[in-house]
Structure 1
Amino acid sequence: MLSGDIGTVAIASVAAFLLAVLSAVAGFGGGVLLLPVFTALFGFRVAVPILTLTQISSNVARMWLNRRELRWPLIGWFAAGAVPFAVAGGLLLAHAPLGVLKRGLGVFLIGVVAWRRWSRTPRKPPDRAFSAVGAASGLGSALLGSVGPLTAPFFLAYGLTRAAYVGTEAAGAVTLHLSKVAAYGAGDLLTSRVLFFGAALTPATLAGAWVGRKIVGRISDRVFVVLVEGGLVVAGALFILGA
């Protein structure tokens, strides 16, 4: 390992830890905010596979820490849509134009928060609707690295909060990230450098998930929802600005 790689691992590990804590508290956000950091360090088309590897470890940890609150029917429906579309998006990554898609997603996320504020009692989506949520999330995540905020409004509308929300969202994310890894491998994007950094950053993401789980147990449902909605607005603004 070169000295430059040591410095890069140190910077990326600090960012991965802090944003894994955020993900463990809000159920998402770490990937969206890590992507600009990793892009600056590695370049976009290398950053996305590295980010995916770190997200697998982070989501597995969040899933395990909240395993007693998982909603398995939702996870199954989500995976049914996420897996095939994540594979398709992973194969398209090397050639897809991404700018318009990112800005459109940003507008959608901010619009969802505005809609939730205006409609205080949004209708609870049926379980099978999560196959469509999974499909959109799988495709977008494979192309953009992370679209965790895209799923948040639907899990919130279903009535999930805190441990049930964080764990169920993480379990669904594991299915799509594993599918993305398979597609990136088929597209020759899993280089030795990508695998090295993915492994090197895993301890930081696991530690962040553990710390975040401790924080979640200390906040109320109302504060939790406010944190998630605030994260949606920040993520939307980053997408619109092209971060």
Structure 2
Amino acid sequence: METVLLVALVVAATFATAALSAVAGFGGGVLLLPVFVAVLGTRDAVAVLTVAQLASNGSRVWFNRCEVERRLVGIFAIGAVPAAAAGALLFSTAPLPALTRLIGVFLLIMVVWRRWKPHAARLDDRAFAAVGAASGFSSALVGSVGPMVAPFFLARGLLRGAYIGTEAASAVVMHLTKLVVFGAAAVLTASSAAVGLALAPAGAAGAWAGKRIVDRLPAHLFVLIIEAGLIASGLLLAITGG
């Protein structure tokens, strides 16, 4: 019975955070990560999250496919792909307690960053590729960095479906790179891949539900929910180390 409840909790959390992310444009991955850490442990949690986020972000790309700015995704990928590979290699050998506390501190930093820098200057292509590099490296270590990169996508003038789809497509590039390296380094095992794939329908359904309500409800309410979850989870992981 306990196992059934845990499975139900993880599926529900995957659906809910995917829906939140589809509305607010960010936050699903980082809010879901503490749930996975509690159930699976830190290293498996990041690997499973990567698989689940690939499905969730892929769904958001599909639902907003007509509005994706492909050129911007390509610029982002120039920096993100090699940096994500390097970060994934470092992640595979880092000690687990340190990784767990790093994730906790990072979640808190995300909230502060969002409040301190709700808007970002419009960057040229070279600087945007550098954002991709920083995002790829950080994402490999802490699972997801959506709240920190969101302002840079918004600063390019992307709105609603264009913003959500383009940011999600850029995340897909990072997650694919990480999965290749995680697989080569034996961080992504058959069991963790199976768990992530099993959660894919819940992530896709959440993305679909979020797409249905994105034009009906104010996104700032979802942002507040996400930030409250980040603060609680960040404090727990930073203090206890998982």
- TM bin (shorter chain): 0.7 to 0.9
Q: TM-score when scaled to structure 1?
A: 0.86
Q: Which one of 188, 208, 212 corresponds to residue 210 of structure 2?
A: 212
Structure 1 residues 111 and 28: alpha-carbon distance in aligned structure 2, compared to 1, 3 A threshold = closer
Q: Number of residue pairs matched? A: 233
Instruction: Name the residue aligned to 2:231.
Output: 237
Matched, 1:107 2:109: yes
Q: Name structure 1 gaps, 5 residues minimum.
A: none
Q: Distance in 2 between matches of 1:162 and 1:197?
A: 31
Call closer, same or farther: CA 1:77–1:31 in 2, change over 3 Å: same
**Which runs of 5 or more structure 2 residues have no equivalent in the other structure?**
238-242
2:64 maps to 66
Q: What is the CA distance between 1:191 and its match in structure 2?
A: 1.4
What value does the CA root-mean-square deviation take over the aligned residues? 2.4
> Which structure 2 residues correspond to residues 1-243 of structure 1 after superposition, within 5 A?
6-96=4-94, 97-98=98-99, 99-100=101-102, 103=105, 106-107=108-109, 109-116=111-118, 123-219=121-217, 223-224=218-219, 226=220, 230=224, 233-234=227-228, 237=231, 241=235, 243=237
> Under a length normalisation based on structure 2, what TM-score does the superposition of the two structures give?
0.86
Point out 4+ residue stretches in structure 1 off by more than 6 angstroms: none
- Residue aligned with 2:186, SS: coil
1:149–1:235 Cα contact (<8 Å) kept = no
CA distance in 2, matches of 1:57, 1:192: 17
The answer to which of 88-97 and 170-179 deviates more is 88-97
Aligned amino acid, residue 202 of structure 1: A
Percent identity reads 48
Distance 1:18 1:232, change over 3 A: closer
User: 1:23 is paired with a residue of what secondary structure?
Assistant: helix
